[in-house]
Chain A
């Protein structure tokens, strides 16, 4: 009975996993497929992508033409359930009120969490990214190196399906043969951006996204992913065959009913459930990790949302993967005589070093792309190409004024018209209306390109979260209060993005609506808005200055692990999801190994 309630849970689980997104899904998958009895607790409701995904729905069928509202910030058809930067009944506090000191916390309350709607961008961290302090003296080194995690990147890519190419570029790792799926063809706008960017010395290569450009290799991958485990191989092969390759239509952010992209609910959880080793309880809001007399975790306390009652579940091992800040919140709320400042917080670093991604955007209009013939450019729904960070040498020479890099997510094309397609054109049309406006709309449709910078933020002492002394959520759980500050490294980087993107647009013969923003504080997106928040329980090699070791195991409580973004010791420009999964798989292997040796 895979979906269970508090009343029907078993009493002898090996592992409780809290959270069902990228980190929790991967942990539950690895542990269950390899024979551990797992209870997965998800705060949100059960979610069924096969029957709930609005694949081909068009905006005229939706309220307000499907444009975003505070209740559906990414648009009506976005997959997110009960989520956004505000979740009803679950407030948080931002200590700072100015733009530069505000932090916005995105959450989703659904099985699979935000993996249901994410952008599917799946980039590996490179060797530099694990040793940033060694390179430039800032931030923290991870207690592991690229070589330690590379085999897990290989596995995750084979399991979930990631397209991309190997280019041999600095700190932009290649994957071994057989890991990556072929990248999709670029669009006209992609070709033009790549051509003009290269003239400026800026590379443009195939993107990496978790979208199946062809069916998965169900013949050889299962044996590589589960060596010696024939049953797991059979289950996985069957499940891989049931996933369909992309049919080059419908936005990934709605989720995918044909399972052509990665979401925890379509990739991790189905085979894990098929193993018979996974029970899932949804609508279970975990608020604390409980301790046994010997100082080990005994289980978790959670609110059953349907009854609002407090419940308890027990296991030999507890894995928190509730998202970086939510996992930190659970630990801060797990106070007791031994840990008065929160569980696993003897270092005092719990909640510290929150990081998001530096974001800044510029869009422009390109006459060369006007009035092109009708082409179907739905493609893979974005990031056919991208630009990895390319100025390592200039940065090393100290010529940039900021220490870390960014990548560029760019694109254009004839996307499905919607609410904003012909809005705000007066800077190009001199305010046309009537027959002339209709001609202008046709002329300019598909001629816009946009550039989004995604850059590394260096952890700092002023960006952290703690418990608010007063405020509680609707479940009676104390809420988080966030503190946020950028350093000059991030602000200068954002200004550099603005200049670079404007240069590329001009090199395309295009124009932007205004000049590049040279003030980084105005160019940078507010903290939390890129939704790459990591840190808060960073891993390290010293128990005095970190919360976990390299196995995501808390220093203070040996059978307590964190497999979400909380353990990140740096937040490279590469979107964190693939690394979360690689770390979760590695931690789960470690848990299995220790359990087999009866050490856990």
Chain B
């Protein structure tokens, strides 16, 4: 494997623990009964909901959208996460038949419920209906697991996972790629490496 491939493996391995022995067999067949199988059409364009039904309620989707956009709001360079389909992606994720998705689903749903309960207790309404500064006050308490109070550890773990999913959904779109300044994935006649001026600035090589 090359470096890139092995990084992908590391990511895959951390997200998808391998089944216990015997590998394959019944377990793999069960996963294959749903999902996209081991030989999907790689050239088709897929949309959330096409391969397995989306399962979030409209209230959950509303909360998902508010939270996505708190994490990735619109700014001068790019729109908010919900504007590029991240809510659909989150719904696709928590509705998918794969082990990591199934693990995330209760965590996310419990996290949504916790946000609503927290907002109700502090501000008298659900999280999505709370004011932006109220939503932010709650997020401030759980955005960094190392600083979160012990009773908010689970909520902080949820927030970290939700932030990763939101970012994963956002930066894997054309808008997200442009936001980061990615300009590849186009054929080029030649590749000459970085400009000399940049190398000189960095005292390289």
Residues of A within 8 A of B (CB): 45, 52-54, 56-78, 81-94, 97, 102, 104-105, 117-121, 184-188, 191-192, 194-195, 209, 247-254, 359, 361, 363, 368, 372-383, 409-411, 414-424, 426, 430-435, 437-438, 441-442, 445-446, 450, 452, 471, 479, 529-531
Contact = CB atoms under 8 A, between A and B. Distances in A.
B184 A416 contact: yes
Of A56, A249, A419, chain B has the most CB atoms within 10 Å of the CB of A419
Contacts of A531: 1
A74 B188 contact: no
B59 interface: no
Of B1, B96, B172, chain A has the most CB atoms within 10 Å of the CB of B1
B164 interface: yes
Closest 9 CB pairs of A and B: A431-B144, A185-B193, A119-B2, A68-B12, A91-B25, A247-B187, A374-B181, A422-B167, A86-B24
A139 to B, nearest CB: 23
Interface in B1-46: 1-13, 15-16, 18-25, 27-29, 31-32, 35-40, 42-43, 45-46
B168 A82 contact: no
Contact of A426 (B37, B42, B144, B194): B144
B4 A94 contact: no
B129 interface: no
Nearest to A89: B29
B108 to A, nearest CB: 15
B92 interface: yes
* Chain A residues touching B, majority SS: loop
22 contacts: A45-B39, A73-B12, A82-B38, A92-B22, A93-B22, A119-B3, A120-B2, A185-B193, A359-B6, A361-B6, A414-B181, A414-B182, A415-B4, A417-B172, A418-B171, A419-B168, A431-B144, A432-B143, A441-B180, A442-B180, A452-B6, A471-B22
Interface size class on chain B is 35 or more
B202 A192 contact: yes
Contacts of A105: 23
B99 A70 contact: yes
Contacts of B120: none
Contact of A452 (B3, B19, B29, B205): B3
A409 B38 contact: no
Contacts of A452: 1, 3, 6-7
Contact of B1 (A186, A419, A430, A530): A530
Given A86-B23, A104-B23, A423-B164, A188 B199 contact: yes
A86 B27 contact: yes
A68 B35 contact: no
Nearest to B36: A63
Nearest to A81: B39
Given A94-B23, A376-B188, A252 B12 contact: no
A471 B23 CA distance: 12
A122 to B, nearest CB: 11
Given A70-B99, A379-B191, A409-B2, A434 B25 contact: no
Contact of A434 (B13, B40, B71): B71
B187 A421 contact: no
A72 to B, nearest CB: 7
Interface of B: 1-13, 15-16, 18-25, 27-29, 31-32, 35-40, 42-43, 45-46, 51, 70-73, 75, 77-78, 85, 89, 92-93, 96, 98-101, 136, 139, 143-147, 160, 163-164, 167-174, 176-177, 179-194, 198-199, 202, 204-205
B184 A64 contact: no
Given A60-B85, A373-B198, A248 B172 contact: no
Given A62-B46, A376-B188, A121 B92 contact: no
A54 B139 CA distance: 40
Contact of B145 (A65, A77, A426): A426
Contacts of A437: 71-72, 163, 167
B179 A442 contact: yes
B38 A375 contact: no
A187 B194 CA distance: 6
